[in-house]
Amino acid sequence: MIVTFAHHKGGTGKTTSCLNIAGFLHESGKRVLVIDCDPQANATSGLGVDPCSDQLSMYDVFMSYAGDFPDVGLADIITETKSGIFLASSSLDLVGAEPYLYTIDNRAAILKDVITEIGDAYDHILIDTPPSMGQFVLNGLVAADRVVVTFDSGIFALKGGAEALSAIMDDVETYTGEKVVADVAVLTRWGQTPVIPVPDEGFGARLKQLFFGTPESGDNGEEKGRLAAFENDVKRSFEMVYTIPFDTNVQKAQENGIPLPQFAPECEAACVYREIAEQLNSQ
């Protein structure tokens, strides 16, 4: 199964969800490949690989379709990370590949084509896409069997995300004749208390607020109500909706270059990611 993680907005927990679901799929005994199609290379660094190294990356794979560049296939760049998850890494160079793609007639199907070349070597392939509406997102959607959309609690996240992804999925249908449906939504960092500046209480109060959050108040109650309404809206738009609670273990795991199953497998966030992985595994 090929699963693409998408959202045109940054900071929605897309890469985090991709890596932790990959981690639990691996823990279940599956052979898992993560393809990092984001020039920011967060999935690459999140699996403990230096995106600034001289190794071949997705940049070389995409560029092999453009002009006189060397022929590099997906199998040529895949490495096994310390987590046991296999990785097709990214690098900042990837941002320079996109202009070349516009010179290629079949540019939206490049990723699907290179995945076909590796056959059935992996049980699950997870694709992390950049926060944009460009060719790498389009390639991820064309290649996908399933699409997972991640949302943060931003007030415009659902409306903007749904409209933008709907537009690009319509493009995919026009291009391929096949309808792409995003049926899984993941709400990330749910329950995180927003930090609201209090300028008239001085720097000390703001620093305390940064580390310990905002005390319960009427405003906090309004925020909880807004999040509940947001969650209900998402449930009306997606077949499956999962809520990931705010958990400091998530960031700590990424800083250590390993997914949650190997860092804090029983933490609150890990339990939900395990459930998502089990659902994908059963398909």
pLDDT of 183: 82
Q: Does 203 have pLDDT greater than 80?
A: no
CB 205 within 8 A of CB 198: yes
In a domain, 83, yes or no: yes
Tally of structural domains, the chain? 1
CATH number, position 121? 3.40.50.300
Q: What is the C-alpha separation between 95 and 85, in angstroms, rounded?
A: 24
In a domain, 74, yes or no: yes
- From the list 97, 57, 106, 64, the residue with the least C-alpha distance to 79 is 57
In a domain, 137, yes or no: yes
Q: What is the C-alpha separation between 12 and 131, in angstroms, rounded?
A: 9
pTM of the model: 0.84
In the chain, where does DSSP find H-type helix?
14-27, 42-46, 58-63, 98-101, 110-117, 135-143, 157-176, 202-212, 218-237, 248-255, 260-263, 268-281
Domain span holding position 152: 2-193+240-281
Mean pLDDT of 120-140: 93
Q: Does 102 have pLDDT greater than 70?
A: yes
- Bridge partners of 35, per DSSP, are 88, 127
Q: What is the C-alpha separation between 242 and 127, in angstroms, rounded?
A: 19
Cβ within 8 Å of residue 79, ≥6 positions away:
49, 55, 86, 87, 89
pLDDT tier at 76, thresholds 50, 70, 90: very high
In a domain, 231, yes or no: no
Among the ranges 31-35, 102-106, 132-136, which has the highest mean pLDDT value? 31-35
Mean pLDDT of 239-254: 90
- pLDDT digit string, tens, across residues 145-157: 999 998 876 644 5
% residues pLDDT > 90 (the chain): 55
Q: Does 249 have pLDDT greater than 80?
A: yes
- From the list 44, 123, 48, 130, the residue with the least C-alpha distance to 89 is 44
- Bridge partners of 128, per DSSP, are 5, 36
In a domain, 187, yes or no: yes
In a domain, 214, yes or no: no
In a domain, 251, yes or no: yes
pLDDT tier at 221, thresholds 50, 70, 90: low
Backbone angles phi, psi at 173, to 5 degrees: -65, -40
In a domain, 201, yes or no: no
Q: Choose the weakest-confidence range: 118-122, 139-143, 188-192.
A: 188-192
Residue of higher predicted confidence among 150 and 230: 150
Q: Does 231 have pLDDT greater than 80?
A: no
- What number of H helices and E strands is found in the chain? 12, 8
**In the numeric block, which tokens belong to residue 4?**
């693409």
Percent of the chain as helix, strand, coil, to the nearest 5 = 50, 15, 35
Q: What is the C-alpha separation between 209 and 99, in angstroms, rounded?
A: 44
